[in-house]
Amino acid sequence: MAKVTQVRLTSINTPRHNSITCGHILVELLTDDDALTGIGEMSDLQHLPRYHLDVPDLEATLNEILVGLDALQITEMERRLEANFPQAGYIYDKSRAIKCGVDIAFWDLAAKQLGVRVCDLLGGAVRESVPIAYPIFRQQHEEDVERNLAMVGRRLEEGFTFFRVYVGRRLDLDERFLRTARERFGDRITIKSLDFSNLLDAKAACAFAERVADVGYDLIESPAPHHDIRGLVQARDRLAVPISEHVYSFRWALDLVAADAVDVFNVSVIAIGGITPARRIFAIADAAGKACLVGTTQELSIGTAAAAHVAMAMSAVTVPSDPVGPLLYTRDVVTDPVRYTGGLLSVPQGPGLGMTLDPQRVSASAGPLTWAATSAAAVVDRQVAAP
């Protein structure tokens, strides 16, 4: 059995099309078998709070706690990670990204060791593909409305029919976009969700959702501030459509179930800290009878591949999901990026994640993580970086 001999981290920066530049950290698990290396990704670190990891120090720490583990010691790997980087109960806490990158790399390594796909190691695929909802980011200025409408048109031509619409800053522009989109594209598009991203209180979010209900949408996401479980309950009682919320800790999942606060769990591999803890969230959802979707912070192809394997293997994933990162960035770091066909995401071929790092692409994006020329507002709304 191959044993981990070194953990190697590489920080990279990848611009989004007409948007901010996002930092990521690539994880490589080198082993005593030269033919076996596990790869993972600490994805999209450009979220509040505005600080970055000390990558050399983190690399030294991970080597200290992980070197010597064999490829199949996933339970022990998780125990060590949780002991050093405990769940903080916040969706953008940096510890969840650290754990996620390492956890993905271990699953990739273990599956490669056995010559199977990650989804097979998770119990086998229960579906061949999952529909993806393309994100439409918030309207902040008058010109954003037409720009976003044009994006819907382009993605519709590529086969995407589900769209996730971020709202909550300029509600007047949000409403204009929604009504114009329905008038222009009719029933060719399905608005999977209005995503308030915890920006409004439940009363304000519900009032807007009711005002545009005639436009038609399938669910409402995050219609209350962070950890406002009473607000979520109020929204679920008031609105006729399902309510969804991100699940970023075991305690939060149990609280949501105990209060019967939501209909849908948004389970992001990175938000919960990896594939291993994500399985527990899906188990809680199954037991509670909650539907699930696979969420995202918009990863590169390695993180997106991990999300795809999870989506294929978890029976609770019955709602169109969100990972489209490889379409948002101007460049990737693998030889064959994740692909979308007719708005569907499938599992890449090959053992493990089915991903191979491209040294030239990695080199082109490598560099120190930085918050230079990025404002807090740009981070929240995924807007163009400040000059």
Active site residue 329: no
User: How does DSSP classify residue 198?
Assistant: T
Given this model, what pLDDT does residue 374 score? Answer: 80
Residue 16 lies in a domain: yes
Whether 147 and 108 map to the same domain: the answer is no
- Residues 147 and 76 reside in one and the same domain: no
Task: Evaluate whether 266 touches 236 at the Cβ level (below 8 Å).
Answer: no
- Let me know whether 103 and 126 are in one domain: no
Q: Which residue has the tokens 């695929």?
A: 125
Band (386; pLDDT cuts 50, 70, 90): very low
Model confidence pLDDT, tens digit, residues 158-180: 999 999 999 999 999 999 999 99
Contact 19, 1 (CB under 8 A): no
Q: In what order do the strands lie in the sheet with 291-294?
A: 133-136, 162-166, 190-195, 219-221, 243-246, 264-267, 291-294
Rounded Cα–Cα distance for residues 94 and 234 (Å): 30
Whether residue 385 has pLDDT greater than 60: no
DSSP category for residue 385: P
pLDDT bin (cut points 50, 70, 90) of residue 184 is very high
Beta-bridged to residue 3, according to DSSP, are 70
If asked whether residues 162 and 310 sit together in one domain, one would say yes
Say whether pLDDT at 94 is over 90. Answer: yes
Q: What is the pLDDT averaged over residues 233-237?
A: 98
Q: Which helix (H) or strand (E) holds 21?
A: strand 21-31
Q: Are residues 195 and 101 in the same domain?
A: no
Q: Is residue 358 part of a domain?
A: no
One of 51, 90, 166, 248 is an active-site residue; which one? Answer: 166
- Distance CA(303)–CA(101), nearest Å, equals 8
Is residue 340 flagged as an active site residue? no
Q: Give tens-digit pLDDT for 243-295.
A: 999 999 999 999 999 999 999 999 999 999 999 999 999 999 999 999 999 99
- pLDDT value at 212 more than 80: yes
Look at residue 359 and tell me if it is in a domain. Answer: no
| Domain count across the chain | 2
- 128 inside domain: yes
Q: What is the pLDDT of residues 77-92, one digit of tens each?
A: 999 999 999 999 888 9
- Mean pLDDT, rounded, for 143-166: 97
What's the pLDDT tens digit per position in 324-341? Answer: 999 999 999 999 999 999
**Per-residue burial over 268-300, b = 16 or more CB atoms within 10 Å of its CB, e = otherwise:** bbbbbbbbbbbbebbebbeebebbbbbbbbbbb
Residue 236 inside a domain? The answer is yes
Q: Are residues 225 and 210 in the same domain?
A: yes
* Crossing angle of helices 275-288 and 74-84, rounded to 10°: 100
194 and 230, same domain (yes or no):
yes
- What is the Cα 329 distance to its own chain's centre? 14
Q: Is the pLDDT of residue 114 over 70?
A: yes
What is the rounded CA–CA span in Å between residue 330 and residue 221? 28
The 8-class DSSP code of residue 348 comes to P
- How does pLDDT run across 63-82, given as a tens digit for each residue? 999 999 999 999 999 999 99
Which pLDDT band, with edges at 50, 70 and 90, does 109 fall under? very high
Q: Tell me what the pLDDT averaged over the chain comes to.
A: 96
* Phi-psi domain of 265 (left: phi exceeds 0; alpha: psi -120 through 50; beta: other): beta
pLDDT for 387 equals 46
Same domain? For 109 and 129 the reply is no
Q: Residue 363 domain-assigned? A: no
Closest to 55 measured CA to CA, from 99, 2, 8: 8
Residues 194 and 313 in one domain: yes
Regarding whether 171 and 104 lie in a shared domain, the answer is no
Query: Which CATH number goes with the domain that contains 229?
Result: 3.20.20.120
Shared-domain flag, residues 97 and 181: no
User: 375 with 303, same domain?
Assistant: no
For residue 386, being part of any structural domain is answered with no
Q: Which domain holds residue 19?
A: 4-115+369-381
Q: How many residues does the chain have?
A: 387
In a domain, 76, yes or no: yes
Q: What CATH number is given to the structural domain containing 43?
A: 3.30.390.10
The whole-number pLDDT of residue 152 equals 98
pTM more than 0.85: yes
